[in-house]
Structure 1
Amino acid sequence: MIQAAKVNASTKKTIIVSGPTGCGKTSTSIEIGKKLKANGIESVIVNFDSLCFYKELNIGTAKPTKEERAQHPHSLIDIVSIQDDFNSSHFINLAEQEIEKLHSNGIIPILVGGSAFYLRALVKGMYETEATPDSIKKEIEEIAKKDRLPGLVKKLEELDPQAMEALHPNDEYRITRALEHCMTTGQKWSEQKKLKDEIDPYDLENNIDKDWEIFHIYLNLSKEEHYPLIENRARKMVESGLVEEVQKLLKQGYTGEEKAMGSIGYKEVVAWLGEETQNKESLIDQIFIHTRQLAKSQRTFFNKIHPKIEFHPLHDQEKVQSEALKFATH
């Protein structure tokens, strides 16, 4: 039996497995971990998929099952409740501690997920700003309460007309953070972003920890191959009890308006439960359409990220494992 070995802690080798939703990142990362272990190398799968953080959300997140987690060590899964105030800053702090602990012990972290924002924030760092005073937070909360997202957008456009050119109009979290920056510092968020973006924001090698040695595995397949997988997953979620999972949460006192409950799968079920005529085929279709749109945006982002080596999740599994092993041992 091969004894597990630890890599040189000074190298800080880091494997990233990314790709659009529903492309097989979970199974691929587990097989990589098992391949490394079979060759005496320790590793831990570190989740950066935001929905997998939440304890109460299971079926709609497609998080690794208990059986899958038993096959290889995982971390940063089921770490908070959907009622907790948990944002990207909290995640970055936890992830940095976890990864530093693994590196210092000569264990390779395998970062896995499809949340592009979390990956870039973790590797490249986040925009720095002063702590936002409670008075400003309260003012922003009042705007959101009165005029909802359009009110926040209007306020940001008044303070920083160029900010919305870089933000999605539905990205309430980042719009709020940009507002906090403008109102706290008196400076435009877009100017700070421009300064940071002058350092290529998509270059994962130019990261906040210069000692990281990154091997980025990007799983991708054609739309013709991917869309049926997404549709099948949407159907499987509903057939596996997604509606019942949401109903249970609502009975426990959750409103459906929690940030995490606004994610794909859960928001469609909440809306569907309020309809007079409930047709599960229409529910599956809505989840499929929105997941397909998410996959498109993820693919757009990851196409810009470099360096990466692209693999087909269905045909290149042996190649992925052998390349990961080669990286880990050299």
Structure 2
Amino acid sequence: MAQRKNKLIILSGATATGKTGLSIDISKKFNNNKFSVVNFDSLLFYKELNIGTAKPTIEEMQAVEHHLVNVGSISKEINANDFVKLAEEKINELHEQGKIPILVGGSTFYVRSLIKGMYESPSPTDELKEEIEILYKKEGIAPFINFLSKNDPESLQQLHENDHYRLMRAYEHYKTTGSPISVQKKSYDENNPYDFSKNIRPDWDMLHISLELPKELHWQIMEKRAKEMIDTGLIEEVKELLAQGHTGHEKPMQSIGYKETLAHLSGDLTSKKELVERVFINTRRLAKSQKTFLKKITPKETFHTLEERDKIFDLVSRFLNS
């Protein structure tokens, strides 16, 4: 008789599609003590970033236990490799306790790394790490983009300009090996990195639920969120971080919301209205990128967040009883 697999639910979706609320609703409907949320939104890892990340409220985190939220500081980035180690440990711990983890987030590269594994790069030298850190703090992401445009244009074309981690990783890989990381990625892609049914987790029984909203409604929600972030103190949060000695060049501080607020404080975006608009535009771009990535992932069940909740609950019920 085959050994029973440990169940796990993945709840994905672009930013502002209602993932946190649904994860709590699922937990409440099917027994709070059975579920635990494991975050895979990369910005929620950092204890200093709150308003600009739409972090779950204290009440939400008390309603259902959350893990991998506020586990690090912006002074030391938690990359995909770090996340995989943290998530593996936490998920195994929860399974041993008889609980069902719900992986919740929009950083699909991170969750794919957990499910499918990562293509490997040789470890860079300490000298190269220091060189990259100094260059990034001094000049931001621009010199890395310029380098890749000449030496690895294929990777540059595939990566979003806000994806500083992977842009810098491509730079690091080339500097270490003398060849583009896109060459190694081609080998990884031959095994279809978007097919979650072929994974490195044979002991997990996974249900992947992906959330979507109609474009017009989604835009309204993103615009409202951008305005609320500014109205509820994002500018003050960034000012406080700078006053504490952070430079603003930390990778998490270059994410949407924080990057634009830093530009506002430096005088590049003069009015709050202009700041809100820029955050909204960049959030839309991020959401489009996330949706493009998610469309490639199989298998998954996709639902309208607001109108198909009963269908989601029915699917979860059948999964739990299977």
Same fold, judged at TM 0.5 (above): yes
For the residue of structure 2 that corresponds to 1:318, the secondary structure is: helix
The C-alpha deviation readout for 1:122-143, integer Å capped at 9, x for no partner, is 1111111222222333454566
Q: Is the CA contact (8 Å cut-off) linking 2:164 and 2:251 kept in structure 1?
A: no
Distance 1:245 1:144 in 2: 23
Give 1:37's aligned residue.
Answer: 31
Give 1:201's aligned residue.
Answer: 193
The C-alpha deviation readout for 1:243-286, integer Å capped at 9, x for no partner, is 11112212222222211111111111111122288422222111
Q: Does 1:134 align with 2:126?
A: yes
User: What letter is aligned with 1:196?
Assistant: Y
Give 1:97's aligned residue.
Answer: 89
TM-score between the two structures when normalised by the length of structure 2? 0.91
Sort the Cα spacing of 1:325 and 1:165 in 2 relative to 1 into closer, same or farther, 3 A: same
Match of 1:302 among 294, 305, 310: 294
Q: Once the 2 structures are TM-superposed, how far is the Cα of residue 86 of structure 1 from its aligned partner?
A: 2.5
User: What letter is aligned with 2:300?
Assistant: K
User: What letter is aligned with 1:209?
Assistant: R
Distance 1:139 1:283 in 2: 32
TM-score between the two structures when normalised by the length of structure 1? 0.89
RMSD: 2.4
Q: Does 1:62 align with 2:50?
A: no
Q: Is the deviation greater in 277-286 or in 75-84?
A: 277-286
For the residue of structure 2 that corresponds to 1:82, the secondary structure is: coil
Q: Is the CA contact (8 Å cut-off) linking 1:17 and 1:112 kept in structure 2?
A: yes
Give 2:15's aligned residue.
Answer: 21
Q: Is the deviation greater in 291-300 or in 182-191?
A: 182-191
Distance 1:45 1:9 in 2: 25
For the residue of structure 2 that corresponds to 1:17, the secondary structure is: strand
Distance 2:70 2:138 in 1: 33
Give 2:267's aligned residue.
Answer: 275
Give 2:6's aligned residue.
Answer: 12
User: What letter is aligned with 2:101?
Assistant: P
For the residue of structure 2 that corresponds to 1:267, the secondary structure is: helix
Q: Does 1:235 align with 2:253?
A: no
Q: Once the 2 structures are TM-superposed, how far is the Cα of residue 165 of structure 1 from its aligned partner?
A: 4.4
The C-alpha deviation readout for 1:150-181, integer Å capped at 9, x for no partner, is 54345446655644344345543223323333
Sort the Cα spacing of 1:9 and 1:224 in 2 relative to 1 into closer, same or farther, 3 A: farther
Distance 1:176 1:279 in 2: 32
Q: Does 1:314 align with 2:306?
A: yes
Count residues in correspondence.
Answer: 321
The C-alpha deviation readout for 1:48-102, integer Å capped at 9, x for no partner, is 0011011011111111100011111110000011112432211111011111212
User: What letter is aligned with 1:174?
Assistant: R
Unaligned runs of 5+ in 2: none
